[in-house]
């Protein structure tokens, strides 16, 4: 405890680090404030009544978790950062199959700027479509007991829908800009921290929901403790397994230059079981929000209503498709983050080789084969973690509690926290201060 207190004191001794942390906190406060500013024309009293009567254990409840309650508040930041993530996914996939985007990725800084600009354009388009779906959803929301619609008849119309779409799109672009500012001038990854703070915000509500169930006699305290312990053990086990690595030995041949001898040593290439981190879950989740957005355009269509039942949060179809997408994105993101051909070429240039494997193409194929095999269990474990809350909720656990302590939420919280602590650690070690871990080996997961 004394070491932790000393570390916090050291943090505020460093002017640059102190400024970065305070700047980050200030922008995150702005995000939270924007999540409580309701769209114009909405009856907030009826909105709160309608939100209280809704079951949080559905896809909209999960979306609300990612945006920190802004969706249930019908706030100006209701769309959150998810449209930006969706646009990023589309461009990353395009970069793997379309030559034009592949060319941009190879053009260095100029190409990166063009891709960033295209991502912003895509964000505007996607957020506009989602914003229109949100306006339809809000106009169909009514308070319980026939109290009335949350969007009064006098307000409804083309102008209200248009102005709401503009405000929601502007909110998404604003929150995207805040994320970029945090990344550039603050500490940690801005986009990840915005998602992180939104999830943390739901923690008190999750505890309140469970307490009310216990107080009303619907849940036994002993069963509650057992369920929580099982959830923690399962998640902890999956996280530990997916952090495993497979090391490939690389032998460097001896080279004599003058009187000096170089090489002749064995090093190792660490291949992680979960190279992609939690990115596959975030990618897949953002895609799974698309059907619900499209279905919201046709609230009175019976066929669409029946079809939407297959994409509800608790349906087997949803969980199956979601799991398959996570496995796909795990392989996809791993292929982007780790290129066996480049590794093999670098080894060959430095005189390195894997014992028993010829340098060049055979080495690349060997590494690719091992990476493919060890990625499979990592992707399956990620899929299990992601769909776990849907199954836990079938045992009567409240939606907020299941979503917070299981699946995506917990992994995002741990990953972002470790990444942010790693950056703080780097600032401390550069100035010869001890960090949170004396060895300075704290490993984070970057989104």
Q: What is the DSSP string of 288-318?
A: HHHHHHHHTT-TT-HHHHHHHGGGSTT-HHH
pLDDT value at residue 446: 41
The mean predicted confidence, pLDDT, of the chain is: 77
Confidence of residue 269 (pLDDT cuts 50, 70, 90): confident
Residue-wise pLDDT for 290-343, tens only, equals 777 777 677 677 787 787 777 777 778 888 888 898 898 888 888 877 888 888
Q: How far apart are CA 54 and CA 80, in angstroms?
A: 20
Best CA proximity match to 331, nearest among 383, 366, 257: 383
Report CA torsion sign: 118, 80, 300, 152. negative
Of 54-58, 306-310, 415-419, the least confident: 54-58
Confidence of residue 445 (pLDDT cuts 50, 70, 90): very low
pLDDT value at residue 177: 92
Q: How far apart are CA 379 and CA 363, in angstroms?
A: 24
Specify the DSSP element, H or E, that contains 260: strand 260-262
User: What are the backbone dihedrals phi and psi of residue 435, each rounded to the nearest 5 degrees, phi first?
Assistant: -95, -160
Residue 435 has pLDDT above 60, yes or no: no
Of 55-69, 206-220, 393-407, the least confident: 393-407
Please report, for residues 93, 108, 241, 339, the alpha-carbon distance to residue 368 in angstroms, rounded to integers and kept in the order given: 20, 26, 21, 8
| Contact in structure between 435 and 429 (CB atoms under 8 Å) | yes
Query: What six digits make up the tokens of 308?
Result: 């939407």
pLDDT value at residue 395: 63
Report CA torsion sign: 20, 21, 22, 24. positive
Span 246-250, mean pLDDT? 73
Residue-wise pLDDT for 119-155, tens only, equals 999 999 999 988 988 888 888 877 776 667 788 887 8
Across 95-99, 144-148, 160-164, which has the greatest mean pLDDT?
A: 160-164
Domains of the chain: 1-201 (1.10.3370.10), 209-406 (1.10.3370.10)
Confidence of residue 207 (pLDDT cuts 50, 70, 90): confident
Q: Are strands 142-143 and 245-252 parallel, antiparallel or unpaired?
A: unpaired
pLDDT value at residue 125: 93
Span 181-195, mean pLDDT? 87
């Amino acid at each position: 405890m004394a070491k932790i207190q000393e570390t916090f004191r050291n943090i505020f001794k460093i002017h640059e680090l102190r400024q970065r942390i305070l700047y980050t906190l200030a922008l995150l406060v702005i995000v939270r404030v924007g999540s409580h500013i309701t769209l114009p024309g909405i009856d907030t009293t009826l909105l709160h009544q309608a939100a209280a009567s809704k079951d949080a254990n559905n896809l909209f409840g999960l979306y609300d978790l990612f945006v920190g309650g802004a969706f249930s508040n019908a706030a100006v930041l209701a769309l959150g950062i998810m449209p930006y993530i969706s646009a990023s996914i589309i461009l990353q996939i395009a970069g793997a199959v379309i030559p034009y985007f592949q060319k941009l990725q190879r053009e260095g800084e100029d190409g990166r700027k063009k891709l960033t600009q295209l991502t912003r354009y895509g964000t505007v388009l996607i957020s506009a479509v989602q914003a229109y779906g949100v306006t339809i959803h809000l106009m169909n929301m009514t308070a319980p007991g026939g109290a009335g619609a949350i969007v009064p008849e006098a307000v409804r119309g083309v102008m209200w829908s248009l102005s709401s779409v503009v405000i929601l799109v502007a909110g998404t672009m604003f929150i995207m800009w805040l994320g970029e500012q945090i990344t550039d001038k603050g500490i940690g990854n801005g986009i990840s921290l915005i998602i992180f703070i939104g999830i943390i915000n739901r923690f008190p509500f999750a505890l309140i929901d469970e307490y009310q169930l216990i107080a009303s006699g619907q849940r036994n305290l002993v069963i509650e403790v057992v369920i929580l312990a099982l959830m923690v053990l399962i998640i902890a086990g999956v996280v530990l397994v997916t952090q495993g690595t497979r090391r490939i030995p690389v032998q460097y041949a001896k080279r004599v230059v003058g009187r000096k001898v170089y090489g002749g040593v064995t090093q190792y290439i660490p291949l992680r079981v979960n190279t992609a981190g939690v990115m596959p879950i975030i990618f897949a989740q953002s895609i799974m929000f698309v059907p619900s957005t499209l279905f919201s355009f046709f609230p009175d269509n019976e066929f669409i209503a029946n079809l939407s039942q297959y994409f509800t949060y608790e349906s087997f179809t949803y969980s199956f498709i979601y799991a398959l997408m996570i496995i796909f994105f795990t392989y996809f993101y791993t292929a982007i983050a780790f290129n066996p051909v480049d590794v093999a070429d670098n080894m060959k240039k430095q005189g390195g080789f894997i014992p028993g494997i010829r340098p060049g193409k055979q080495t690349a194929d060997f590494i690719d084969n091992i990476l493919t095999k060890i990625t499979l269990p990592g992707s399956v474990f990620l899929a299990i973690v992601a769909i776990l809350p849907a199954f836990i909720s079938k045992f009567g656990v409240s939606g907020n509690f299941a979503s917070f302590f299981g699946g995506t939420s917990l992994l995002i919280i741990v990953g972002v926290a470790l990444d942010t602590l790693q950056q703080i650690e780097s600032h401390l070690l550069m100035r010869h201060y001890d960090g949170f871990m004396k060895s300075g080996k704290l490993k984070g997961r970057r989104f």
